[in-house]
A and B are shown apart, each in its own frame.
Chain A
């Protein structure tokens, strides 16, 4: 148990001012000569590390019993077949799992839940799984949240895997939290990078606090370690000609596969536009001042045979279809060329496009975050550059 303790005897107005300046969450209250921490505190510890020395202390009261991490083995990937075929994010995660497993000398497992799925199980062996654990039952056809959670929890209880990586599909992002709550473990959403320590602690790296900050997140005293990662964040390994590894059928009782949800109908989505396959993208952000000006950038995109994409605020403003949004809450893209126009480059946006081969950024603020990842940083006013560029191309 950790607790923040304030040494009131060291507190005066100057100290309060210092602490309030250090705290990013406005969690210090100074009332009637007494300093207290309110519920806005995120326990980030900055007041301890960066505040006036010795005023605020993080005190360990009594530590919970440490778990035996050696009992939990295997980097597992949830094989997402919820829409009838193996979602490619599964292969990407198998590649990542192999790299993590090599560090700690663990096997790579795949967890396959579905119906009539022997062919899928064999396919997973071609992508480097050492062992595929298969739940095969007509009650597990399609995607039903309760039976799927039950099967995953059954797997965790029987096999005790060190980590479970889940693809950030809509099904995966609905299933992973359900599993985490059931087996009481941590869950980190949308990791953009993963590392593993010698003691098998998975370091889950993702943007944090909704801003331009990255966080290293660990699950120090719970197993399995559970995280999700979006499609196209990691690279898929090449398919191996020979399948190594084995397939292990798993049993689960009928009673555990009950569902209070019924799928009445499955409707294919209209095959619409897919930003992730575009080779050239022109993306716009809030530097573009009006909806009318979007047409200007659209013209440039048309001339370059590029797809037009955007940042989240543009979707929130209702100027764009969400399918054109790049970023953590939108699509992850890795085109040959991306030109960002008037985009400052939040971590969330950058996470969705930093894999692009060439990044050209146009922004009038030389300190814009986008320039940290751009290969070509054009510092200037888009309204002075884009119309002239269009004229050049038309000539």
Chain B
């Protein structure tokens, strides 16, 4: 079983704000981490590998520093790692991101199963997995809450819908996106870190792809465009209450009583 896990490096902090005067984006820190939802995808892959044998490779798209996220995945137990990085990929929306990932996957060779996290904490769209599957012309399942069984031909999974759960049998190769908590992720191993410290990561740019048309990548390949960013709107009628804890507790009690909540 050849498994590939797609991961993303995301900002550690989600406190980003727009300076209302200058319109400039302000980020708290430049620190990054692996998208937490990807840890569940990795763990799912490791468990299938333990049961069925095979390999787990990791793929990411991002700036050169995203290598750190791939290294972390290796420390947790991943084998091969590949980063897709090119200025030409900059400004990619869901379509262009998914297309870039699918080009990378095709170039890496054959996989039986691609696993993605449910969503990222920065983009928050939960759409990239399904679009990648479409570009690969593979079936997919999103919101997978359990792997029931895996054979050479298919995988049986539980898919979480709104009020029902579907037990699906999906032909391989396929792509799944897994729910948080499908398995508890394990921590990166320091021992493994020492063992794999000088393992080279593969890097691919646009020149390594089969489709090298710049119009299909980054901002130019993105059907959507951000027209404007702005701070969120405010509620106009607002009462501000300040004072000591005791005073505020009294005011809140009065307010709740007046509203017949008590």
**In the complex, what's the smallest C-beta–C-beta distance from A207 to chain B, in angstroms?**
7
Contact A42 B90 (CB under 8 A): yes
Do residues B246 and A384 form an inter-chain contact, with CB atoms below 8 A? yes
* B210 at the binding interface (Cβ < 8 Å): no
- In the complex, what distance in Å separates the CA atom of A389 from the CA atom of B248? 9
Give chain B nearest CB distance to A136 CB in angstroms: 21
Is A40 within 8 A of B65, CB to CB?
yes
- Give per-residue flags for A317-356: 1 if the beta carbon is below 8 A from chain B beta carbons, else 0: 0000010000011000000010000000011101000100
CA distance A159 to B159 in the complex (A): 32
Interface assignment of A59: CB less than 8 Å from any CB of chain B: no
Question: For the complex, what is the distance from the CA of A376 to the CA of B63, rounded to whole Å?
Answer: 43
User: Nearest CB to that of A388 among chain B residues?
Assistant: B249
Residues of A with C-beta under 8 A to B91:
41-44
- Residues of A at the B interface (CB closer than 8 Å) are 1-2, 22, 24-27, 37-44, 46, 49-50, 64, 82-83, 87, 142-143, 145-146, 149, 169-171, 173-178, 180-182, 184-190, 203-204, 207-222, 259-269, 280, 303-304, 316, 322, 328-329, 337, 346-348, 350, 354, 358-360, 362, 366, 369, 371-381, 383-386, 388-389, 392-393
Q: List 13 additional A-B contacts (Cβ < 8 Å) besides A215-B230, A380-B248.
A: A39-B87, A145-B141, A146-B139, A207-B124, A213-B232, A214-B229, A218-B224, A267-B164, A267-B165, A373-B235, A377-B238, A384-B245, A389-B253
B4 at the interface (CB under 8 A from A): no
**Contact (Cβ within 8 A) A46 B25:** yes
B73 on interface, CB distance cutoff 8 Å: no
Cβ contact within 8 Å between A1 and B214? yes
Whether a CB of chain A sits under 8 angstroms from the CB of B185 is no
- For this complex, 24 residue pairs linking A to B, each with C-beta atoms less than 8 Å apart, are A24-B16, A40-B65, A44-B229, A50-B23, A146-B139, A169-B162, A170-B142, A170-B161, A174-B143, A178-B133, A186-B95, A212-B18, A217-B224, A221-B223, A260-B174, A263-B167, A266-B166, A267-B166, A316-B36, A372-B233, A374-B235, A375-B237, A380-B241, A389-B252
- Flag B82-111 by CB within 8 Å of A: 1 or 0 each: 000111011101110011000000000000
Task: Known contacts A187-B95, A373-B235, A377-B239; decide if A181 and B253 are in contact (CB<8 Å).
Answer: no
Residues of B within 8 A of A218 (CB): 224-225, 227
| Given A219-B224, A374-B238: A184 and B119 interface contact (C-beta under 8 Å) | no
